[in-house]
């Protein structure tokens, strides 16, 4: 799975294409180009062997124009400051399109968490959090899970923050375990949102999920939640792929058995007809859901895509040069700003619950999530129709830029 090619230039080019459809101006876009703050960290870790190894860590706050920043922490080998800054900007756009009172942030550590023991991972997590004590907070910058991190890591971050400051504050971190103030349904939120968006987009073109063939590329929490939601509504999940490879069955995969297989073996490979992850991308299916990471579809593999509908359930999964090619082939791409919006909505709902100390049932969470996802899709589709944008990405970017511009104008510039 290729994940290179994430850069400011590609994002800004697409924003500039959206600008003529907005009420914003070049000055607003100029503000957008500069993150509010980036912290770069050197993180020493004492390994189980007694040796000390250094790691690089980062945390970027892109914008607080609409409210406190919120965004994921990723543990990924090769993570760079540039990657964090671009992804933080995308989080600003995504929170705006969801109409959440939040700005965007992103951070993490350049590390493959699979190479560390549990003790080493905990010590590195606590060191990273301790280094950020002065800049994170429930009303300033809220940490969330991302690639390579999970609710256990969020729990360590929460504990480290509160132990350092002598607090019991829970909403500085979201994506936590439920006993520590986490929200029910958070693991399913991004995938559920992507599935809802898939169903809505199909309906707009007069199609239904019934017997639609779906390929899911990336089978973590989000991929599995999308699969479960879509299968329950009659779709056939014909292939799923993860870092280890892919499994394919034209009649549809049996998802409960697939999940058990993945839990036992660590991969979906070996459950059904084996394919490489790249081969799964090129299957002739009705829908392709991208739930892995940025850069999954790039110039080098765009020509292999056969699905007429591509759902970008992870940030920047389709790179700009690939998107231009796919659009020319008549392939519809539903952009990350709406396809993966369920994740940021879930994080927001957890943050609100922690603030009020009032927690909702899973049914209440899903009802609120579904309503907000549908509202975001409605708004972007209505914007696209009213303004005549060439695609949904342009409409989503333009919607976000208008909201950010309005907030910026109201706030003014501090002298």
CB 109 within 8 A of CB 57: yes
How many angstroms separate the CA atoms of 187 and 365, rounded? 12
How many angstroms separate the CA atoms of 102 and 91, rounded? 9
Residue 318, token pair as written in the block = 């389709």
- Catalytic residue (one of 76, 94, 106, 187): 106
Shortest CA distance to 275 belongs to which of 306, 254, 305, 245?
A: 245
Query: Three-state DSSP class for 250?
Result: coil
Q: Is 327 one of the catalytic residues?
A: no
Sheet hosting strand 52-61, strand order edge to edge: 37-46, 52-61, 103-109, 69-75, 141-145
How many angstroms separate the CA atoms of 223 and 236, rounded? 14
How many angstroms separate the CA atoms of 5 and 3, rounded? 7
Residue 230, token pair as written in the block = 């879509």
The DSSP secondary structure of 105-162, one letter per residue, reads: EEEEES--GGGS-HHHHHHHHHHHHHHTTTT-BTTTEEEEE-TT--HHHHHHHHHHHH
How far lies 399's CA from each of 8, 88, 93, 334, in Å? Answer: 19, 18, 9, 15
How many angstroms separate the CA atoms of 221 and 189, rounded? 9
Where in the sequence numbering do the catalytic residues fall? 106
């Amino acid at each position: 799975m290729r994940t290179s090619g994430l850069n400011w230039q590609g994002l800004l080019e697409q924003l500039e294409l959206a600008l003529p459809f907005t009420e914003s101006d070049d000055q607003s876009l100029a503000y957008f180009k500069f993150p509010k703050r980036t912290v770069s960290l050197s993180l020493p870790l004492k390994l189980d062997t007694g040796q000390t190894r250094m790691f690089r860590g980062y945390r970027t706050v892109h914008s607080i124009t609409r409210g406190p920043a919120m965004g994921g922490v990723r543990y990924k080998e090769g993570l760079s400051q540039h990657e964090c800054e671009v992804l933080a900007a995308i989080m600003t756009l995504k929170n705006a399109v969801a109409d959440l009172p939040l700005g965007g942030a992103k951070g993490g550590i350049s590390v493959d968490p699979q190479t560390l023991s549990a003790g080493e991972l905990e010590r590195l997590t606590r060191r990273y959090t301790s280094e950020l004590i002065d800049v994170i907070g429930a009303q300033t910058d809220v940490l969330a899970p991302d690639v390579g991190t999970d609710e256990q890591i969020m729990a360590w971050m929460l504990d480290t923050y509160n132990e350092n400051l002598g607090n019991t504050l829970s909403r500085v971190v979201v994506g936590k375990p439920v006993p520590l103030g986490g929200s029910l349904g958070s693991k399913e939120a991004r995938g559920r949102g992507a599935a809802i968006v898939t169903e809505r987009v199909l309906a707009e073109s007069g199609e239904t999920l019934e017997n639609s063939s779906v390929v899911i590329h990336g089978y973590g929490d989000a991929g599995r939640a999308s699969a479960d939601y879509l299968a329950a509504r009659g779709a056939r999940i014909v292939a799923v792929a993860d870092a280890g490879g892919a499994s394919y069955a034209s009649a549809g995969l049996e998802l409960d058995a697939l999940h058990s297989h993945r839990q036992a073996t660590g991969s979906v490979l070996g459950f059904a007809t084996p394919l490489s992850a790249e081969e799964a991308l090129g299957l002739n299916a009705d829908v392709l859901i991208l739930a892995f990471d940025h850069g999954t579809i790039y110039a080098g593999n765009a020509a292999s895509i056969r699905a007429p509908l591509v759902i970008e359930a992870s940030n920047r999964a389709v790179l700009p040069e690939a998107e231009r090619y796919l659009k020319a082939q008549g392939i519809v791409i539903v952009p990350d700003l709406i396809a993966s919006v369920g994740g940021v909505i879930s994080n927001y709902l957890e943050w609100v619950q922690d603030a009020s100390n009032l927690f909702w049932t899973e049914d209440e969470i899903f009802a609120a999530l579904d309503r907000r996802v549908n509202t975001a899709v409605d708004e972007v589709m209505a914007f696209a129709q009213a303004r005549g944008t060439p695609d949904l990405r342009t409409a989503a970017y333009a919607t976000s830029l208008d909201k950010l511009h309005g907030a910026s104008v109201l706030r003014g510039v501090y002298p």
